[in-house]
Amino acid sequence: MLVFNIATVIFWLLPVDAKSYDSSNSHYDFVIVGGGTSGLVVANRLSEMRDFTVAVIEAGDSVLNNYNVSTTTGYGLSFGTAIDWKYQTEDQIYAGGSKQIMRAGKAIGGTSTINGMAYTRAQKAQIDSWEKVGNKGWNWNNLFPYYLKSEQFQVPTPDQFARGADYYPSYHGEHGPLKVGWSKAMTNSSVLPVLDETFQQLGVSYNRDINGGSMIGLTVHPDTIDREENVRHDAARAYYWPYENRSNLKIISNTYANKIIWDESSDSEAVAVGVEVTGVDGIETIYATKEVILSAGSLKSPVILELSGIGNPDILKKHEIPLKVNLSSVGENLQDQTNNGISYEGNEFWLGLPTFSVLPSVEQIYGDDFSAVSSAVNSSLADYAKNVSFSSNGAVLEANILAALQLQHDLVFKSHVPFAEIVLLPIGHTFSSEYWPLLPFSRGSIHINSADATQTPDINPNYFMFEQDLKSQVDVARYIRKAFVTPPLSDLVGEELAPGFEHVPGDASKSTWENWVKSNYRSNFHPVGTASMLPREKGGVVGPDLKVYGTKNVRVIDASVVPFQICGHLTSTLYAMADRASDVIKKRYIF
């Protein structure tokens, strides 16, 4: 196991006159592109080593004093403001035709500054599947200590216990930078017993702590929150601001990374010497003497690779970008989820921040139909694979995607990872819910459509590309409706506000439901996989050391490398992954 508290100790024992950057000089050992969720973890851990100098290039600015970020009850306030990239997709042809907005944070702290703060990890079997497909060392048991290393768990107060907060101590870390816990203003104690009794009748049990690798059940999950200060604990508050004065760490904000600059004399592996940026003083190069690390997020890191000449030769040729590494899988394997909302009038007025989620298994959703659904999906996989390969113009090999889809089928139908997440939100006079099936089969892509880094790329998640994904979206909606007419939950609510029985009657047909889904869904904002960690011959972009194939010193460390969608919200796993990746890097240079 690679947990390097020793390195941290060594750092603090070193004399204070350690190496620091010279502000007249733009040379650093490590240049990290993107000061977001993952990038700030890597910046923090590498700068623990006083002999390393680290620069972080970040397009956004500080949001430390931005109320839209710090408030714990203002989810959505920052949407559409200057700190939201609000990426736009291509027309979603399988989903009614319209474009979608994919939100992402543009700030020191990245998307963790605008997200929903939910802290839920993953199902053990799905992290183990990373190793099964060839990523040596990436399994649950190895990642688990890093979930703990990153975490500073805030033990619930008696009042919070009474309102439903609960945990197993062995699942949590106490000494990490990231504060995890519940708000002082949790929704009152009358709601959880009602949900518990209701979902018991639908076969779903209470899960005391979702963060130990078994996620099925009804849970009251913690958030990334600083309870005492009552502020969001984002990546910047956790991993950067307390360390802002380290002399070997510099954030270069309001600065856009355009592309990697290469050592042109190298003719075998590509060697990065720095990053071309556009900052407040125009275009310049920030030099990296050791490595360039891309942490710009799953909708930007693959774009920077393509702009730098790493990708599909056909795409690069079209934009006259010289080919550096022939790696057609860059930008493929885009996997996101789709979110719909169902809401009711409330019979009471609820104050506080609810964190109730239900994660049912496929059997709990489908009951006796479970094995029929399993075989129907299984027998469609070969067609899915053919169509994914076709829609990627052959960049994704049919055999590779088929293997990935089979693995996914088995996770859902044999290992019983959660099938959907249903978030239950009693707030004010409404009791609403949002839901998303967790593992859609559709696969999309993101690619440049210009050699100009300021132009927006083509983002196509291919939402509802396959019948089963649309079916899941409808079937989970029907299941939620069933829950809301089951007592005692039914006693807490009045009229259904959305979809509303006038739009989707009780006996609505499949197509009525499908139309409602397509006209009302949104991205669930969990895009992963666009620079997948997989063996190169299986369509990978990076290996288990997160180094880009064909390069000597370029890594990707962010949601892009997550090879298969996970059932948790992403940040907890990204923090852990980035912490573990930092140890991989330290090990490369120190021992």
Ligand X SMILES: *[C@@H]1O[C@H](CO)[C@@H](O)[C@H](O)[C@H]1NC(C)=O
CB of 450 to ligand FAD, least distance (A): 14
Distances (CA, A) of 246 to 57, 179, 319: 16, 21, 41
Q: Spell out where 223-266 has E strands.
A: 223-226, 231-232, 249-252, 256-262
> Residue type for 524, please?
N
Q: Does 188 bind ligand X (CB under 6 A)?
A: yes
Q: Output the six-digit token pair for 490.
A: 């039914």
The single residue among 30, 31, 32, 33 that binds ligand FAD, judged by CB under 6 A, is 33
Taking CB under 6 A as the binding criterion, the range among 106-114, 153-161, 399-407, 427-435 that sits at the site for ligand FAD is 106-114
Residue 193's contacts (CB-CB under 8 Å, 6 or more residues apart) are none
CB of 270: closest distance to ligand FAD in angstroms?
Answer: 19
Residue 319 annotated in active site: no
Q: Is there a contact between 577 and 146 (Cβ–Cβ < 8 Å)? A: yes
Indicate the residue among 350 and 549 with the shorter CB distance to ligand X.
350
Indicate the length of the chain as a whole number: 591
Nearest approach, Cβ of residue 180 and ligand FAD (Å): 11
- Residue 337: closest CA among 427, 446, 469: 469
Report angle CA 550, 554, 559 to the nearest 5 degrees. 105
Binding map of ligand X across residues 310-329, x = CB under 6 A, - = no contact: ---x---------x--x---
Size of the site for ligand FAD (CB under 6 A): 40
Beta strands 445-447 and 493-498, pairing class? unpaired
Closest residue by Cα to residue 336 from 585, 562, 588: 562
Task: Identify which of residues 392 and 572 has a Cβ nearer to ligand X in the complex.
Answer: 392
Q: Which does 569 bind (CB under 5 to 8 A by kind): ligand FAD, ligand X, none?
A: ligand FAD
Residues 6 or more apart from 190 whose CB is under 8 A from it?
A: none
User: Counting contacts by CB under 6 A, is residue 297 touching ligand FAD?
Assistant: yes
Angle 420-38-170 (CA atoms, 0-180°, nearest 5)? 65
380 counts as binding ligand X under rule CB under 6 A: yes
Distances (CA, A) of 580 to 3, 4, 122, 139, 364: 8, 9, 16, 12, 35
Active-site residue, 526 included: yes
To the nearest whole angstrom, how small is the minimum distance from the Cβ of residue 580 to ligand X? 26
Nearest residue to the partner ligand FAD, using Cβ: 36
> Which of 26, 37, 44, 66 is in the footprint of ligand X by CB under 6 A?
66
Which of 43, 118, 397, 492 contacts ligand FAD by CB under 6 A? 118
Chosen from ligand FAD, ligand X, none, partner binding at 33 (C-beta under 5 to 8 Å by type):
ligand FAD
**Binding window for ligand X (CB under 6 A); candidates: 85-93, 375-383, 470-478, 540-548:** 375-383
CB atoms within 10 A of CB 510: 11
Kindly identify the residues of this chain, within the stretch 241-300, that bind ligand X according to CB under 6 A: 242, 244-245
Q: Which of residues 441-500 bind ligand X (CB under 6 A)?
A: 466
- Give whichever of 306 and 496 is closer to ligand FAD, judged by the CB atom: 306
Count other Cβ atoms within 10 Å, centred on residue 8: 12
Which CB sits closer to ligand FAD, 218 or 504?
218
Map the footprint of ligand FAD across residues 513-552, applying CB under 6 A: 525-526
Query: Is position 570 an interface residue for ligand FAD (rule: CB under 6 A)?
Result: yes
φ/ψ (deg, to 5) at 467: -45, -45
- For position 60 contacting ligand FAD by CB under 6 A, the verdict is yes
Q: 235-257: buried (b, 16+ CB within 10 Å) or exposed (e) per residue?
A: bbbbbbbeeeebebbbbbbebbb
Quickly list DSSP for 169-226: GGG--SSSSEEEE--TTBPPTTHHHHHHHHHHHTT--B-S-GGGS---EEEE--EEEE
Query: What is the Cα gyration radius of the chain?
Result: 23
What x-and-dash track marks residues 549-568 binding ligand FAD by CB under 6 A? ---------xx---------
Determine the residue type at 438. Answer: L
Asked if 256 touches ligand FAD (CB under 6 A), the answer is yes
Nearer to ligand X, 293 or 489 (CB): 489
Give the nearest distance from C-beta 484 to ligand X in angstroms.
18
Q: Which residues, numbered 65-84, are part of the site for ligand FAD (CB under 6 A)? A: none
190 binds ligand X (CB under 6 A): yes
Cis peptide bond N-terminal to 499, omega within 30 = yes
Contact between residue 169 and residue 212 where contact means Cβ atoms under 8 Å apart: no
Cβ atoms 357, 422 nearer than 8 A: yes
Query: Given the rule CB under 6 A, which residues bind ligand FAD?
Result: 33-39, 57-60, 103-107, 110-112, 114-118, 256-257, 295-298, 300, 525-526, 558-559, 569-572, 574
Query: Given the rule CB under 6 A, which residues bind ligand X?
Result: 66, 68, 77-78, 81, 188-190, 242, 244-245, 313, 323, 326, 348-350, 375, 378, 380, 383-384, 387, 466
Active site residues: 526, 569
